[in-house]
Structure 1
Amino acid sequence: MNYLFYGNAGVFAVKMISISYPFTNLAELVQEKAVSIAIGHFDGVHRGHQNVIRQAVDVARKEGMLSAVMTFSPHPKEVLGHGEHYYSCLTPLHKKQALFEELGVDIMYVMRFDLSFAAVSPSEFVSGVLRPLGVGHAVVGFDFTFGSKGAGNASTLLELCKPDIGVSIVEPLYDNGVKVSSTYTRDLLEQGNLDKANSLLGRPYEVSGTVVHGDGRGRTIGFPTANLELHDPYVAPKLGVYAITAWLDGVAYNGVLNHGMKPTFNKSEIKPVMEANLFDFDRDIYGKEIRVQFKAFIRSEQKFGSIDQLISQIAADAAQARAINQSL
């Protein structure tokens, strides 16, 4: 498996441009070259998405165009009232930007998705969005829909873009007969099937946040932890223990992470927390930015009858996490 990896957030070569329809600043949006653009929400930037984006990049390189991606914010299904499930995300915008850069994209258009844009017809999307942006080629997945009430599909786009905009329609990617999708990836993470989810993503699933003060109990039992306050509403993986790699100040540290309610110490229901124990590490990192990659699921969360049992299990989890990270 060839995983995509990227460093800590910073200055990206791929240019992020926020846009809303109708355009009021078109002169600022038009590029010096025609654009080959991949269109989709691309939450997760999984291997299926990567196929779509790579094709747009390939066309750009062959035709002397700029390569671009158009994504949408917030998630269209969230705006259209298809449930709170889509409030959470696999990849926030800044992570999409980093992953798009890995794929060779020049420009990331972030289209504001609101009820007004949702009412745009398929023909208006082509005439009022794609053509003004100087799109010379568009690449979409086979199940792409667009326009008011999803009236347009990939075939519609192909017809509406004639004769001046080329269109490529990318076939789906299957994993053992199941279509690779963001929904499938979300379900796998929530089930604790991290190996499969990471395989679909083409990289370890990850979250980022700030290290905040916890209750300090980890240090008292010999396993100090970094408590994460997440920056974005990530899709939450199954409660349990994971082998991880954490990035601090551009340096990677292996460790073990517990995602759960801490039932041994808490009898009343609380929000889930993520606590990471970094191996061979002893620094004060409160307030530091941290990025955590989930490498393997070790076990489900459980309640222990005594502190000694808890300590023994944490030691076993840490040993297993060390072995997993050494094998990867």
Structure 2
Amino acid sequence: MEIIHLSYPINKAAELGLNAGVSIAIGHFDGVHRGHQNVISEAVKQARIHGLQSAVMTFHPHPREVLGRGKHYYQCLTPLERKTELFRMLGVDIVFVMDFDQSLSAVPPDRFVNDILRGLGVSHASVGFDFTFGHRGAGTAELLAELGAPDIDVHIVEPLLVKQGFKVSSTYTREALENGDIATATDLLGRPYEVTGTVVHGDGRGRTIGFPTANLQLHHAYVAPRLGVYAVKVWMDGASYNGVLNHGMKPTFNKGEIVPVMEAHVFQFDKDIYGKSITVQFMAFIRPEQKFGSIDELIGQIRSDSKVAEEILATS
């Protein structure tokens, strides 16, 4: 899979070395959830039918970071490098990463189609039913089909519905995580929610009470799941380990204003992993964070949480 970074105005297809037509899925695709997967799979299918190169166009950074005037701090479900991995797994040949800046944000819908899509040699475009594009989001999926005719065939993918008629979306996924509803988030994504970070030194108290933890310094501003305790799978050096993770303020020890931290206790593991990059997958929510009256109460609860986590992970 090839990754091509673009900024507006773009180079033409021939200058980019694109020798065949392109079937493209367009969107930010944060989460690459099951609805996004349907949009991308449609582009891949059309590419195979018509002998085209399959592609995804995503935008970086998120438009909210550029247009929010400092009022929005964007938290992602999937950072760019993870998104590209997921695109590759879906059979995509090319990922176009469009630099979203003030220049691109001012492009009207007709110029987006003529300058960018036709410039890239697009002959098929796949988008979600709620897709918007162009200056102030003036373009809709229907307008894209109108502007693309007759040389760009546009397929509008209908929403994917789940339990109780809710549509799969990044917003729904975020809400599920913020509520600690890991089962729903996993169903929407089609895989466990995950974060990646570097193991850093903490206060060392976990080791003193018999439960050493890997304290995570996250690599990106991820959507933060509900504060509490989770059954997790920890990936490092290509291997998976079971564990329990606390996401919270460590209220038993800390006083005053502090920020949330993630610390994972990995079962049957005693290697020195400081400085290592690890990925944590959230498998189940066990309980909300709470404050304990003594260290003994805390130790007892950690033992109980670990037992629950082991039972959950034994069947996952």
The two structures have a TM-score, normalised by structure 1, of 0.93
Long gaps (5+) in structure 1: 1-13
Deviation, structure 1 residue 85:
5.2
Is 2:284 the counterpart of 1:290?
A: no
Which of 223, 227, 243 aligns to 1:239? It is 227
Structure 2 CA distance for aligned equivalents of residues 117 and 190 of structure 1: 32
Partner of residue 165, structure 2? 177
Structure 1 CA distance for aligned equivalents of residues 26 and 201 of structure 2: 41
Equivalent residues of 1:48, 1:180 under 8 A apart: yes
Partner of residue 262, structure 1? 250
Partner of residue 180, structure 2? 192
User: What is the identity, as a one-letter code, of the residue corresponding to 1:122?
Assistant: P
> Identity rate of aligned residues, in percent?
67
Equivalent residues of 2:133, 2:140 under 8 A apart: yes
Partner of residue 204, structure 2? 216
User: What is the identity, as a one-letter code, of the residue corresponding to 2:127?
Assistant: V
User: What is the identity, as a one-letter code, of the residue corresponding to 2:34?
Assistant: R
Q: How many residues are treated as equivalent by the alignment?
A: 315
Aligned-pair Cα RMSD in Å: 1.3
Is 2:48 the counterpart of 1:61?
A: yes
Structure 1 CA distance for aligned equivalents of residues 175 and 15 of structure 2: 40
Structure 2 CA distance for aligned equivalents of residues 244 and 292 of structure 1: 6
Equivalent residues of 1:44, 1:182 under 8 A apart: yes
Partner of residue 324, structure 1? 312
Structure 2 CA distance for aligned equivalents of residues 283 and 151 of structure 1: 54
Cα 1:323–1:183 shift into 2, 3 Å: same
Equivalent residues of 1:43, 1:90 under 8 A apart: yes
Partner of residue 109, structure 2? 122
Long gaps (5+) in structure 2: none
The two structures have a TM-score, normalised by structure 2, of 0.97
Structure 2 CA distance for aligned equivalents of residues 25 and 274 of structure 1: 45
Which of 9, 25, 40 aligns to 2:27? It is 40
Structure 2 CA distance for aligned equivalents of residues 83 and 53 of structure 1: 32
Equivalent residues of 1:30, 1:133 under 8 A apart: no
Structure 2 CA distance for aligned equivalents of residues 83 and 100 of structure 1: 30
Deviation, structure 1 residue 162:
1.1
Q: Secondary structure at the match of 2:5?
A: strand
Equivalent residues of 1:261, 1:269 under 8 A apart: no
Deviation, structure 1 residue 84:
5.1
Q: Secondary structure at the match of 1:36?
A: strand
Structure 2 CA distance for aligned equivalents of residues 129 and 279 of structure 1: 51
Deviation, structure 1 residue 77:
2.7
Q: Secondary structure at the match of 2:243?
A: strand
Provide, for residues 240-270 of structure 1, a one-character-per-residue CA deviation record: whole Å limited to 9, x for no partner. Answer: 0000001110010010000011000001121
Equivalent residues of 2:251, 2:291 under 8 A apart: yes
Provide, for residues 20-54 of structure 1, a one-character-per-residue CA deviation record: whole Å limited to 9, x for no partner. Answer: 10025764424121111000000000111011001
Is 2:261 the counterpart of 1:273?
A: yes
Structure 1 CA distance for aligned equivalents of residues 71 and 272 of structure 2: 37
User: What is the identity, as a one-letter code, of the residue corresponding to 2:297?
Assistant: Q
Equivalent residues of 1:30, 1:134 under 8 A apart: no
